[in-house]
Amino acid sequence: MTQEITKSAPSIEEAVDAALEELGVQADGAEFEVLEQPGRAGGDATVRVWVKEGYLDAPEPEDESEEDPLPVELTARPREELPELTEEELDHIADTAVNAIQSILGAFGIEATIDEYEGDEGEIILDIVGGELGLLIGRHGKTLDSLQTLVAAITSRQIGHRFPVVVDVEGYRGRRREKLEDIARRTSDRVSRQGRAVKLRPMTSYERRVIHMTLREDRRVVTGSEGDEPFRSVVVSPK
């Protein structure tokens, strides 16, 4: 399986997302290097993304029954356990990320409050709340995705390692993910009921990953992606 790839896209976030989807891993299972920044004249960003050492190592399943292999989106799923950190270390990571966010907001003249809480899988979630913050979200969340990439890169560089920090704006990312998860589950029900594949509308690489991850444990269906950007879609098929 390919463990390193170079991708280009209009933004750093889109390039990283495209690479993660092709590698078949989540963001916390990979590292990346920006080879070329997006140009003001419309030039693409270029990134090199590679899978963390040991991320794909997983114990062999005990069930020896023969089954068709699952697509890459479903097989490369083992999650790296988060390191055991003290409260002081976690506070340091959160403070570093908050400072990065505040610096970026200050450059735009934006004043906001950042609420901090722990996610379901131990990640640090930083939710920016305040006045008119639509600028930080952008169309289909693209600006927020770029902000996420930038803050993650700054934080990782300053603390010396990667730790999952999620940047949100007034709960937008959570609502967006819930909607996609609902679409995934309803599509799975439809596919299993009708016995035929369903092709979803074109989605960004982030949206496609949410669909793949939501249905990864669903034994009734299998997911894959087809088409070229920006019209690439998830196809949900019966097993």
Tens digit of pLDDT for each residue in 165-224? 889 998 888 888 899 999 999 999 999 999 999 999 888 777 888 899 899 999 999 999
- Spans of the chain, pLDDT less than 50: 58-80
Q: What is the pLDDT of residue 190?
A: 94
Q: What is the pLDDT of residue 72?
A: 31
Q: What is the pLDDT of residue 203?
A: 83
Q: What is the pLDDT of residue 55?
A: 57
Q: What is the pLDDT of residue 61?
A: 36
Q: What is the pLDDT of residue 27?
A: 65
User: Three-state SS string across the chain, please?
Assistant: CCCEEEEEECCHHHHHHHHHHHHCCCHHHEEEEEEECCCCCCCCEEEEEEECCCCCCCCCCCCCCCCCCCCHHHHCCCCCCCCCCCHHHHHHHHHHHHHHHHHHHHHCCCCEEEEEEECCCCCEEEEEEECCCHHHHCHHHHHHHHHHHHHHHHHHHHHCCCCCEEEEECCHHHHHHHHHHHHHHHHHHHHHHHCCCEECCCCCHHHHHHHHHHCCCCCCEEEEEECCCCCCEEEEEEC
Q: What is the pLDDT of residue 40?
A: 55
